[in-house]
Amino acid sequence: MAAQRHMLVVAHTGRDDALSAAMTVCHQLASAGLTPVVAADQAQDFRSHFEGDLHLLGEDVALSDIELTIVLGGDGTILGAAELTRGSRAPLLGINHGHVGFLAESEKDDLSWTVQQALAGEYDVEERLALDVTVVRDGVEVFRSFALNEAAMEKASRARMIEVALEVDGRPISAFGADGVVMATPTGSTAYSFSAGGPIVWPGVEALLMVPLSAHALFARPLVVGPDSVMAVELLERSSAHAILWCDGRRSIDISPGSRVQASRSAEPIRLARLHPGPFTDRLVSKFSLPVTGWRGPEE
């Protein structure tokens, strides 16, 4: 007897189109003999729209038994799904119901086909580097989390800069006043880091980024360091302002002067299901609507 298959469905329940698409996915999974699995905090929204059986993650089905997570929403929803399924080897398959949707693998018009591919196992799995993030205060670790996109330390008060010192592999780089510092992965290079003037790093490149935010300094350029480097930002004792640390814009902690934020490569990458094996260049052009009219390509 074949083992029962379990797929988790996560949706942006605040968007009618994403929730409606999630119901379509649930019906398609049920028609294939699977009972859709949902998170406990989304169960009420799902049950008010779906008449079939649902399993609850963590109650009816263990996280370790999830084969695939189908995510309907934008990049924020996919980041939330990555948080929900942290520790699982089940890949995330994003169907874009947001704006840019850089992490999504397909668009909402391809919904039925996407689920068919998922049921058939017709996808590749791509591992993306993630960050382990810690905060140390007075020699004591007070916070630990992870980030797929970035760990961003920002000033808590709009009126005041923070004083920070940057460090790589235990050695100081520079100290200055700024609005903050972003420590990012290649995946996050098209997110907050990009908006702050950082470089776009292809996902296949193993590297980490440090990007100052509105720094008052002559040397405050974005840095690209090795994947095994340890990055750190200290909120200096002389800083008159507090800061706040955000991991992927979802998990946060207040940072007081004298605290240290450290980010390094996580031993647990994030796994993404890929249906389209095309180059990242094409995804970049498509998602940012880059002007390529007139390009003729290499001569044959």
Q: Among all residues, which ones are annotated catalytic?
A: 75
Count Cβ neighbours within 10 Å for each residue of 178-196 and write b for 16 or more, e otherwise. bbbbbbbbbbbbbbbbbeb
Exposed/middle/buried for residue 101 (C-beta within 10 Å: 0-12, 13-18, 19+): buried
**DSSP-based three-state secondary structure for 201:** coil
Assign 3-class secondary structure to 127-182.
EECCEEEEEEECCEEEEEEEECCEEEEEECCCCCCEEEEEEECCEEEEEEEECEEE
Distance CA 19, CA 201 (A): 33
Q: Give the CB-side neighbour count of residue 250, counting CA atoms within 13 A.
A: 17
Amino acid type, 171? R
Distance CA 38, CA 71 (A): 11
